[in-house]
Amino acid sequence: MAEIRTPNRPIYRQVAEQIAEEIEAGILPADARISSERELAERYGISRMTARAAINILVQRGLIVRRNRSRAYVAQPKFRFDLSSPGGLHEQLRKAGVEPGAKLITAEMLPYDALSPRVAQALALDDEETFVYHIVRVRTANGEPIALEDSYFPAHLFPDLLDFNLTDSIYGILRKYFGVEPAGSVQELEISLLDAEWAEIMGVAVDLPTLEIWRQAFTADNAPFEFAHDIYRGDRILFIARTASPESFLAGSGLLWQRALDNLQAEGA
């Protein structure tokens, strides 16, 4: 019988952590069958309910998946996404040897008065004659839906953008045809559960753990060219972020960055 008991720490979490370590070490490779609740109960001297709780934690973390209701298997490795990189998801997946894809849900041109104040401010729009492209896509990796992007682009910067193949890399289109090179972004992040509407659009289960990102993207001269609300599946993506000195961000005067500064100043008041 395996000994994993540590004072003041729930047994089911200890069991989950040990299984997670075996997965990360490659002892349990992708698609390997996880011991059943009964087998885990016998192995650790715990109840089947406790074993089920341990498995549920690993399912929530995306380390294992259930098949045929009761069987659990080690999940395929998560896709990595560097939140610090100005390059888009398409570029990052391709560099990792993963085939990126996209399913177009919405592609429309909206007048200024149809925009929310947040979108208009994020894109630095103040002309009521301005139009904005609104593009919604489900992003895929090797054919698997992993994210949903709800993006806005100023139409005057990208004439006829909707005529291009929007299932390809939009950032690639902006570089090649409009000479716009994404140089950086400011992002607000929030953990949430996937709601029924977005789950149906993506074709995945409701209540998956997600990372929601509100992104304001800039060119090298600090001009905003995109505002987006992205929803990434937390069970299939490993998020990476690199840090830099605060001075490197002072040039950014975007809405999201300014809001972050205001919040920090308010908390310190």
Per-residue pLDDT of the chain (269 residues; tens, 9 = 90+): 566 666 678 899 999 999 999 998 999 999 999 999 999 999 989 999 999 999 999 988 888 988 876 789 998 888 888 887 777 888 888 888 889 999 999 999 999 999 999 999 999 998 878 999 999 999 999 999 999 999 999 999 999 999 999 999 999 999 999 999 888 889 999 999 988 988 898 888 888 889 999 999 999 888 999 999 999 998 888 888 877 655 555 454 455 555 555 554 555 54
Torsion sign over Cα 189, 194, 195, 201: positive
Whether residues 62 and 92 share a domain: the answer is no
Q: Rounded to 5 degrees, what angle do the CA atoms 44, 47, 50 make?
A: 85
Tell me which DSSP letter residue 176 carries. Answer: H
Q: Rounded to 5 degrees, what angle do the CA atoms 110, 153, 184 make?
A: 160
- Residue 191: other Cβ atoms inside 10 A: 9
Q: Does residue 29 form part of some domain?
A: yes
Residue pair 89/139 in contact (Cβ under 8 Å)? The answer is yes
6 beta partners: none
CATH, residue 15? 1.10.10.10
Whether residues 70 and 85 share a domain: the answer is no
Whether residues 41 and 114 share a domain: the answer is no
What confidence score (pLDDT) does residue 245 get? 57
Torsion sign over Cα 6, 11, 16, 19: positive
Whether residues 70 and 87 share a domain: the answer is no
Whether residues 140 and 165 share a domain: the answer is yes
Q: Which amino acid is at 220?
A: A
Dump strand ranges (E) for the chain.
64-67, 71-74, 79-82, 100-111, 131-141, 144-154, 184-193, 209-218, 224-233, 237-240
Q: How many residues are there in the chain? A: 269
Whether residues 63 and 175 share a domain: the answer is no
Q: How far is CA 174 from the centre of its chain?
A: 22
Q: Does residue 267 form part of some domain?
A: no
Number of domains in the chain: 2
Whether residues 34 and 164 share a domain: the answer is no
**Nearest C-alpha neighbor of 18 from the set 28, 32, 8:** 28
Whether residues 87 and 162 share a domain: the answer is yes
What confidence score (pLDDT) does residue 189 get? 93
Rounded distance between C-alpha atoms, residue 200 and residue 185, angstroms: 29
Supply the pTM of this predicted model. Answer: 0.75
Q: Does residue 241 form part of some domain?
A: yes
Q: Does residue 260 form part of some domain?
A: no
Q: Rounded to 5 degrees, what angle do the CA atoms 233, 152, 172 make?
A: 75
Rounded distance between C-alpha atoms, residue 231 and residue 194, angstroms: 8
**Nearest C-alpha neighbor of 52 from the set 70, 73, 27:** 70
Whether residues 164 and 227 share a domain: the answer is yes
Buried b (16+ CB within 10 A) or exposed e, 164-179: bebeebbbbbbeeeee
Q: Does residue 266 form part of some domain?
A: no
**Nearest C-alpha neighbor of 14 from the set 50, 64, 63:** 50
Q: Does residue 261 form part of some domain?
A: no
Q: Does residue 255 form part of some domain?
A: no
Q: Is 218 left (phi over 0), alpha (psi -120 to 50) or beta?
A: beta
Whether residues 177 and 235 share a domain: the answer is yes
Instruction: Print the domain residue range for 222.
Output: 79-245
**Nearest C-alpha neighbor of 225 from the set 83, 81, 88:** 88
Whether residues 104 and 230 share a domain: the answer is yes
What confidence score (pLDDT) does residue 239 get? 84
Q: Does residue 127 form part of some domain?
A: yes
What confidence score (pLDDT) does residue 253 get? 47
Residue pair 166/176 in contact (Cβ under 8 Å)? The answer is no
